[in-house]
Structure 1
């Protein structure tokens, strides 16, 4: 097995923990405890701690108020609850998930008022479309938004609550770029919804869920301290992008990929890469740094952030394989998931993993 650079596996507890949790068998096990974090510190990328392993294509990640973490498995439809030092527990299975290609159980979000409502949100691929449901972990799901076209590729799938309390949704073009330029089509967009799934009342176009358009496949959403939204975008053959999202603006796909669209009214990306270097999925922001999980690029990119402008990316963590999701925890730690079991990676013993980097 390849050695992890900078990953410290403190305690191997596979045998001790194999019988813990509500379900045994294929449920992955915790392999280490964690060090404390300082919320105001930057994540220490040289002090990684493996939290869980043998997860089946981990995709979405969301933190619960009690410190637990929910993680979705793309191909099984299961949601696991992960707590450092304990075996992951299977707490829910979303019914109707049809996992094929890049589709399946994708993004997760926890309601801002979870303590009162107990709502969890999930984006998934069903028999006829991609859709968003909400549910309590002891209840049945309620469809709050559907009709997002599905395909083998470009299903989008990231969902997150913004600082304004609205639910933001990254969708893909489902293989047809023309959808991205159609303001009446939810594909190839960033959508902005109320927690009930309606179009947010102050969206750019009244009654429309569309917040921005001209996207190919959005899988990363993150806000800086001033509430500015950044999004990760899969390119086709030329350029992947990180964009600063402005309401009602058009980001050019499929007319433009990368730079060069300002003379046609499109917004220029903040950062571009060759797809072989990135294929960016999840993103997160801590302080003055944007973190980008790269799939095909098989690394974590760190990008300086200053007053809404991104600087030159730096490559980190090159020995974990494909990276899907990166999230900053309430205590300032950075959590990420690998994605080597998604059909495109080189699977090694223990994949896929959840790794935590405490804040200094």
Structure 2
């Protein structure tokens, strides 16, 4: 035994040494690109995967790797230590167009299942959303099982899947661009749905025989459970009131009659007449919230007991502090604004590292993006302090650097019509040189106040901004009519006041 023990010990030592030499050398090849300074922590930012095609969801896999979907229809994984990528599956029937495609994914923590959400076309060219379960073994995804299919649309198809602490499948669905779907208990759209892993309906759902768990949602973009089992969801508003909601059984969240906190005169009577659950927090101007994750590790103490939320429009990582009961948001801090472009998804490793995926190669890229490395997955983890800090943004930056009209345009118009006024061909019309913008101002004011289907022949619907004050509308109109190549005359506050009444 003594003769065999020594060689065996030697083999184990050599194997361990080889492991550390191989992986640590690989890790050293992945440099820290910048540091983010918190109160007492310095966080290093490192790219672990690049050249991706809109990673929509990222999850911590059962093998210690990052599993991710790409919008064009693939599921892959990447080793966070080495950056080695491996394609697991491509689903040919995925239909990608603008915000449609391969979307959410969740991995069951106890069973060998992953659940994916994607859009597809039926033979009549209508859009459907599908929730499909795959069984995984090592690097293979097999035995697809369709759990549920529901009507889709050219937008507002929702995007996220989660697994509840009791092992149920949670699926968020959008209103499919029809607001009336959201409160309708007979429609699966505009809901949080709850299913068993085989697609059957749990006996303890609030409506017998119905997968609905909550209703009144416009377009949920993120789902996450806290360590106490509380479910939160991020949600896109229309022209105002993006939301983070604490999702509760049988709760009604108000869309389309209520946006945000029911603080407008036209919302209050409805909120008084129907049981309504207000959001934990709302944002106007909108920020386009995307994926969320719960953080409770000691590795980054400043972020303990917080919802981490990525955003598209403001290209930022938001840290939403929760109260001890985990049913309310008590604070918010904003990081990385505009540095990596649009941020789509976030996940947390078991030891507390944070991973974020960019979304710069999607249908609505921001100024200066995509760059050559896009899209990518970055890691945020503690490091020693360096001389390359990225500091939290201040929320009043716009007020300091921009005129009122330009700041309002950036908040409400820039995401679609772009800073240069060129828009996006086939989706959002150019405002630079636009005949309607340069014509009689009443028509432009009316569209801003009331919205328009087809958005000035641009393809996408324009929301109504009637909640803006006359002074704000005046500033936006005059900025637009005097910017780029536009040379139209300015209008007055009284003009807008008069146009609103007509």
Where on the TM-score scale, by shorter chain, does this alignment land: which range?
0.7 to 0.9
1:350 alignment partner, SS class: coil
Task: Answer whether contact 1:334 1:359 (CA < 8 A) is retained.
Answer: no
Cα RMSD for the two superposed structures? 2.1
> What does residue 12 of structure 1 align with?
none
Deviation at 1:236, TM superposition (A): 0.1
Tell me the matched-pair count.
Answer: 319
2:182 alignment partner, SS class: helix
> What does residue 336 of structure 1 align with?
356
Q: 1:134 to 1:268 in 2, by over 3 A?
A: same
Larger radius of gyration: 2
2:214 alignment partner, SS class: strand
Task: Answer whether contact 1:234 1:275 (CA < 8 A) is retained.
Answer: no
Q: 1:161 to 1:78 in 2, by over 3 A?
A: same
Task: Answer whether contact 1:71 1:80 (CA < 8 A) is retained.
Answer: yes
Cα deviation per residue 1:191-246 (whole Å; 9 max; x = unaligned)?
01111112222111111100000000011111122111111110000110001111
Equivalent residue for 2:306, pick from 286, 289, 297: 289
TM-score norm. by structure 1 comes to 0.84
Task: Answer whether contact 2:49 2:83 (CA < 8 A) is retained.
Answer: no
> What does residue 268 of structure 1 align with?
278
Cα deviation per residue 1:6-52 (whole Å; 9 max; x = unaligned)?
xxxxxxxxxxx9xxxxxxxxxxxx97279xxxxxxx99673122110
Equivalent residue for 1:279, pick from 288, 299, 306: 288
> What does residue 48 of structure 1 align with?
45
1:145 alignment partner, SS class: strand
Q: Report 1:1-360 matches (<5 A).
A: 32=30, 46-75=43-72, 77-84=73-80, 85-114=82-111, 118-128=112-122, 129-136=128-135, 137-147=140-150, 149-260=151-262, 262-263=271-272, 264-276=274-286, 278-287=287-296, 288-306=305-323, 307=325, 308-318=327-337, 319-345=339-365, 346-358=369-381
Q: Distance in 1 between matches of 2:41 and 2:237?
A: 30
Q: Distance in 2 between matches of 1:358 and 1:43?
A: 13
Q: Distance in 1 between matches of 2:278 and 2:29?
A: 43
Task: Answer whether contact 1:284 1:326 (CA < 8 A) is retained.
Answer: yes
Task: Answer whether contact 2:74 2:87 (CA < 8 A) is retained.
Answer: yes
Deviation at 1:95, TM superposition (A): 3.2
1:61 alignment partner, SS class: strand
2:44 alignment partner, SS class: coil
Which has more strand, going by share of residues? 1
TM-score norm. by structure 2 comes to 0.61
1:303 alignment partner, SS class: strand
Q: Distance in 2 between matches of 1:359 and 1:143?
A: 41
Q: 1:160 to 1:86 in 2, by over 3 A?
A: same
Q: 1:99 to 1:250 in 2, by over 3 A?
A: same
